[in-house]
Amino acid sequence: MQTQTDPTAAPNGQLKDKLQHSLDSGKESLSSCCDTICKSSSQMCESASDCVRKNPIASVVGAAFIGAAVCYLILEGRTQPTFRDRYVSGPLSSASDSVNDSLKSIFDTLKFW
């Protein structure tokens, strides 16, 4: 009896090995990248901590100015209606819309007759 070998078995095995090697390589690269980021961030935190310890007043004042600037930028985007908009233009516009709607319905009723 003759046994037949699968012609796709060898390429599939090679492909599996290549994929596994690529996966392992990617894991190693990701691990080294994470280690580098961790070391850099801890160095940055240490230098910021040293800077705050050396200049505490300047750090607090700087943080207060940055907070005030952020607050100003946030509040600048919000617009408060003026007195005129709130008590004159707004109600007049609303009344005008109501009158227009009423006249339109009256006109439509008369047009029907």
Amino acid at 99: V
Tens of each residue's pLDDT in the chain, 113 residues = 455 555 555 577 788 888 889 999 999 999 999 999 999 999 998 998 898 899 889 988 999 999 999 998 888 877 777 777 778 888 888 888 888 888 888 887 776 55
Scanning the structure block, which residue is given the tokens 């007043």?
57
pLDDT score recorded for residue 57: 92
Angle between helices 56-76 and 9-54 (to 10 degrees): 110
Q: What 8-state DSSP symbol labels residue 1?
A: -
pLDDT score recorded for residue 66: 92
Scanning the structure block, which residue is given the tokens 């690529």?
22
